[in-house]
Amino acid sequence: MEYTKRIRHGDVGEHLVAFRIMRDFKWPCRLLGIDLGIDAETEILTEDGNTTGDTIRLQIKSVASVDGKSFSITTSEEHINYWQRHCTPVIFCGVCLATERVFWKQITALEDYSTEGVSKKVSFCCEHDLLDARTVVEWRKFASPDAAHELANLMAKYQSIIDDTEHSAFDGETCKKYSDLFAEGRGIRQKVESILAYMPWKITGVQLTKFKAMQRTLQIRDNDNEHHWSTVYYN
């Protein structure tokens, strides 16, 4: 059985990324024996070495060398779609074997990975996407960002607006009050959607279904309130 150059380069890249994470970040990093589009997983630790319960999954690709200030690695649309569906953050790592530099890019639902053909590409900036001392702070932040900690409070506020607008308004004062509440609700919805666009793993399927139902309820009530407001105003 031949140990081909392609396999060897892939193994070197995977072990190099794991080594750098364990040495520089002091986080555990496990290489996965069965590769279905994810090569490794690292567990996020606090500065004092305690686990946060958050993990990041890694896809690792190696290139022989990198010329210029940027480069791209081609992958398949199937893989991009697979990574975007993950319930934990996915990092695509590009390894330059000639210099042993590691570059990284988070796979998000909002990024455009299109090319002219059927394949997709992940692009790296050799300056800004380099894995270095700053990376540990960035990874820790997007794995468990401050905004995500607000999610429970935002959902509770969203529910309180539903509770406070349960009864229809038939006078101008109440219509104005409801209008302000619905505007607040739209702001909360935007914040929640922003969190979920980058961190879908922060909400369960049941919670997401509930949130969408709450959205529909508030939209219907907002429309009804606008109708009542126009009736009160013009009469």
Between CA 83 and CA 125 the distance in angstroms is: 21
State whether 158 and 99 are in the same domain: no
Residue identified by tokens 């364990």 is 22
Q: What is the CA radius of gyration of the chain?
A: 24
- Among the candidates 94, 129, 144, a domain finishes at 144
pLDDT above 70 coverage of the chain, percent: 90
For 29, 52, 95, 234, the CA distances from 14, given in Å and listed in that order, are: 10, 24, 8, 69
Reported confidence tier of residue 110, pLDDT bands at 50, 70, 90: low
State whether 140 and 152 are in the same domain: no
Asked if residues 63 and 96 have their Cβ atoms less than 8 Å apart, the reply is: yes
pLDDT above 90 coverage of the chain, percent: 50
Tokens of 68: 């210029």
Reported confidence tier of residue 232, pLDDT bands at 50, 70, 90: low
Give the pairing of strands 51-63 and 90-96.
parallel
Mean pLDDT of 151-159: 89
Report the pLDDT value the prediction gives residue 17, as an integer from 0 to 100: 98
Residues 6 or more apart whose Cβ sits within 8 Å of residue 234: none
Question: pLDDT digits over 49-100, tens only?
Answer: 998 888 999 999 999 999 999 999 999 888 888 888 777 889 999 999 999 9
Report the pLDDT value the prediction gives residue 27, as an integer from 0 to 100: 97
State whether 216 and 109 are in the same domain: no
Report the pLDDT value the prediction gives residue 235, as an integer from 0 to 100: 53
State whether 132 and 110 are in the same domain: yes
State whether 112 and 80 are in the same domain: yes
Residues 6 or more apart whose Cβ sits within 8 Å of residue 162: 214, 217, 218, 221
- Helix H or strand E encompassing 103: strand 101-107
Average pLDDT in the chain? 87
Report the pLDDT value the prediction gives residue 70, as an integer from 0 to 100: 94
Tell me, what CATH number does 123's domain have? Answer: 3.40.1350.10
Selected residue with higher pLDDT from 120 and 58 = 58
Reported confidence tier of residue 3, pLDDT bands at 50, 70, 90: confident
- Helix H or strand E encompassing 40: strand 40-45
Mean pLDDT of 159-168: 91
State whether 137 and 219 are in the same domain: no
Our count of domains for the chain comes to 2
For 72, 135, 213, 227, the CA distances from 123, given in Å and listed in that order, are: 4, 17, 37, 49
Report the pLDDT value the prediction gives residue 111, as an integer from 0 to 100: 67
State whether 172 and 132 are in the same domain: no
Reported confidence tier of residue 169, pLDDT bands at 50, 70, 90: confident
Domain interval for residue 165: 147-234
Of 106, 97, 102, nearest to 126 (Cα)? 102
- Among the candidates 108, 125, 144, a domain finishes at 144
Q: What is the 3-state secondary structure (H, E, C) of 139-172?
A: HHHHHCCHHHHCHHHHHHHHHHHHHHCCCCCCCH
Report the pLDDT value the prediction gives residue 83, as an integer from 0 to 100: 84
State whether 55 and 139 are in the same domain: yes
Report the pLDDT value the prediction gives residue 218, as an integer from 0 to 100: 93
State whether 34 and 109 are in the same domain: yes
State whether 160 and 130 are in the same domain: no
pLDDT for residue 233 is more than 60: no
Q: Name the percent of the chain in helix, strand, coil, to the closest 5.
A: 50, 20, 30
- Among the candidates 94, 109, 144, a domain finishes at 144
State whether 151 and 127 are in the same domain: no
State whether 165 and 126 are in the same domain: no
